[in-house]
Amino acid sequence: MISEPYQNDKDSIKELLKHYDNLRSGKKSIFFEEEAFEKIIDYFDGEEEFYKALEAAELSVEYFPFSASLLIRKADVLLSCRKYYEALAVLQKSETLNGTDVNLYILKTDIYLALDQQEKAVEVLEKALRHFDGEEKIELLFELADVYDDYEEFDKVFDCLLILLQDDPTNEEALYKICFWTDFTGRNEESIRLHLNIIEDHPYNELAWFNLAAAYQGLKLYEKAIDAYQYAIVIDEKFDYAFRNLGDAYIRLRKFKEAIEALEKVLELSKPEELIYEAIGHCYDRLKNFAQARFHYRKASHLNAENSKLYFKLACTYYNEGQWIMAIKQLETALKISRNNIDYHLLMGECKIELGLVKEAIVCFSSVVRNKSKNIAGWEGLIRCLYQSEYYAEAKMQAEAALVQTNNKPIILYYLCAVLFALKKPKEALLQLEMALQASPRTLNKLVALRPAILQNAQVIDMIARTKRKGGK
C-alpha cells in the first residue's frame, strides 16, 4: 500500500509521455495545458536528458507564447545546456510578460555566474531586492549571500544574513549560517547585538541563544558564553552542539570537572567522536587523574588509530607518573606514524635519561637539532646529556653551535658556563655567567639544576648578588 502513490505518479507520467510523443509526431492527442508541459520538462530535466527537455520547452512556448513561467523553464534548460546568451534572451522576454516571478532573477543570476560576471549577478539581485518582500526577499538574500561566498567577499555574506535576520528573526537556515560567518569574519559584537534583539522578541529560540553564546566565546567572554549556552540547553535539552561548546568554554576557564560533565553529555546525545574523547582526556590530564585521561585517549585512538598525537598524550600521562618504559612504548607507536615529530623525540630523550640510557637520549636530542636547528629544547637536552655523561669537550662544542643557531639564548649561556667550570676554565665560565645574568636572571635556576655545586663558588655568589642589586636600582 505504501508504494501506491509513487506507482500512480509513475503511471501518470508514462501516460503523459505517451500523449506528448503523439503531439510531437502530429498524431491526435489530448489538449496540453501549461502544467502538463511543465511536468514533461521537469521529467526530462530530472533524468538529465537536457536536449529532450529543451525540445519540450520549445514546443511548450509554441503553444503558450505568452506564458512567462514556461519561458523561465525554457531558460533554465538552456542554462543546463550551457546556452547562456540564448537563456538571457528568453528571460528578457519573460520579464516583459511578468517581472514578478522571483525565479526569473535567481535564474538570471545563475547565468551571469556561469559567465563569470559576478558584478552583473550582484546587480540583478540588488535590483530585485527593491521589488520583493516576504519569502521572495528572503530567497533573494540567500542567493546574494551565496554569490558573495563564491567570490570570497565574506563580510558581504555576513551583511546579507544580518539583513535577512532583521526581516525574519527566526529563520533557522540563516541562524545556522550566521553563526559560522560570525566566527569566520570575527564580527562578534554585531552578532551579539543582533541576537540580543532577537532574544528580546523570541526568548525561547535556542539557536539565537547558541549564536549569542558563540559570539561571546569569540570575544573570550567565557562566563557570558556559558550563561547563554545554558539557556539554549534549558530550551533544548538535547542540543549537543551547545554542550560541546559549553565544554570548550569551561576548559578555557580551567573548570575541568564542569567541562567533563558537559562533554560526557555530548557523547550521550551523538555518535562517539575522537575529538570529544580527546577533550575529556585532556580535562582528566589537567586534573592529574592520569588513569582516566589514558582511558579517554585510548577511546579516541580506537576511533582514529593514525592520530600520532593521541599516543604522545598517552606517553605524557605515563611520563608524569614516572612510568618511563610505558611512555616509551607509546612514543614508539607515535613515531611509527610521524617519524620526524620533534616533540616525540624530545620526550623520548627525557624518558631515556630517566632510565639512565644517556647515550640513547643523546641520539634522540641529536635527531631534534639535526631536523630543527633552532629548537632550543633540543639543544638544551643534548648539552644536558653530554654534561651529565661528562663529555665536557663535546658539550662545549655543541653549546657554542647552539648559541649561533639560537641567537645566544640565555639557557645555552648558562649551560656553557657549567661546561666551562667542568673544564676548569673559571674565567671563561664567569664571563658566560655574567652575560647570562644580564640577559635573563630568572633562568639561573637551570644552571643550578645542572650544576648544584655552582652555589658554593664565592665568585659566582658575588656576581649573582651584584646582579640583584643592579636589578633593584
pLDDT for 29 equals 60
**Each residue's pLDDT tens digit, 46-104:** 888 888 888 888 788 777 888 888 898 888 888 888 888 988 898 888 888 887 888 88
Residue in 21, 17, 52, 55 with CA at minimum distance from that of residue 36:
17
> Grid coordinates in use for 101?
516571478
pLDDT for 261 equals 98
Contact at 8 Å (CB) between 365 and 338? no
- Average pLDDT (282-288) is 98
- Determine phi and psi for 90, rounding to 5 degrees: -65, -40
Per-residue confidence at 28, pLDDT binned at 50, 70, 90? low
- Average pLDDT (280-299) is 98
Residue 452 DSSP symbol: G
pLDDT greater than 50 at residue 7: no
Q: Which residues contact 19 (CB under 8 A, 6 or more apart)?
A: 29, 30, 32, 36
Helix, strand, coil shares of the chain as percentages rounded to 5?
80, 0, 20
**Each residue's pLDDT tens digit, 233-271:** 999 999 999 999 999 999 999 999 999 999 999 999 999
Mean pLDDT of all residues in the chain? Answer: 91
Give CA–CA dist 37/20, Å, rounded. Answer: 9
pLDDT greater than 50 at residue 2: no
- Which 3 state secondary structure label does DSSP give 37? helix
Contact at 8 Å (CB) between 191 and 211? yes
pLDDT greater than 50 at residue 1: no
Distance in Å from the first CA to the final CA of the chain:
94
> Grid coordinates in use for 86?
540564448
Per-residue confidence at 6, pLDDT binned at 50, 70, 90? very low
Higher pLDDT, 65 or 168: 168
**Each residue's pLDDT tens digit, 455-469:** 899 999 999 988 887
Give CA–CA dist 85/75, Å, rounded. Answer: 10
- The DSSP code sequence of 371-402 is H-TT-HHHHHHHHHHHHHTT-HHHHHHHHHHH
- Determine phi and psi for 397, rounding to 5 degrees: -65, -45
Q: Specify the amino acid at residue 51.
A: Y
pLDDT for 76 equals 87
Per-residue confidence at 41, pLDDT binned at 50, 70, 90? confident
How far does CA 57 lie from the centroid of its chain?
Answer: 45
Give helix 50-63 / helix 4-25 axis angle, nearest 10°. Answer: 70
Contact at 8 Å (CB) between 366 and 382? yes
Q: Which residues of 234-244 are buried (b: 16+ CB within 10 A; e: fewer)?
A: ebeeebbbbbb
∠ at Cα 455 (452, 457), nearest 5°?
Answer: 120
- The DSSP code sequence of 219-271 is TT-HHHHHHHHHHHHHH-TT-HHHHHHHHHHHHHTT-HHHHHHHHHHHHHHS-
> Grid coordinates in use for 166?
532583521
pLDDT for 40 equals 83
- Average pLDDT (350-355) is 95
- Average pLDDT (330-348) is 96
pLDDT greater than 70 at residue 406: yes
Residues in the chain: 473
Residue 117 DSSP symbol: -
pLDDT for 11 equals 53
Per-residue confidence at 10, pLDDT binned at 50, 70, 90? low
How far does CA 162 lie from the centroid of its chain?
Answer: 22
Q: Work out the percent of the chain whose per-residue pLDDT is above 70.
A: 95
Give CA–CA dist 91/220, Å, rounded. Answer: 50
pLDDT for 56 equals 84
> Grid coordinates in use for 288?
592529574
**Each residue's pLDDT tens digit, 438-455:** 999 999 999 999 999 988
Q: What is the set of domains in the chain, with CATH numbers?
A: 1-99 (1.25.40.10), 153-267 (1.25.40.10), 379-473 (1.25.40)
pLDDT for 471 equals 62
Scan for cell 523553464, then name that residue. Answer: 73
- Average pLDDT (123-139) is 90
Residue in 364, 359, 372, 333 with CA at minimum distance from that of residue 348:
364
Residue 27 DSSP symbol: -
Per-residue confidence at 3, pLDDT binned at 50, 70, 90? very low
Alpha carbon separation from 309 to 323, 344, 372 (Å, rounded) = 19, 9, 19
- The DSSP code sequence of 410-424 is HHHHHHHHHHHHHTT
pLDDT for 357 equals 93
- Which 3 state secondary structure label does DSSP give 146? helix
pLDDT greater than 90 at residue 225: yes
- The DSSP code sequence of 75-137 is HHHHHHTT-HHHHHHHHHHHHHH-TT-HHHHHHHHHHHHHTT-HHHHHHHHHHHHTT--HHHH
Q: Which residues contact 287 (CB under 8 A, 6 or more apart)?
A: 256, 257
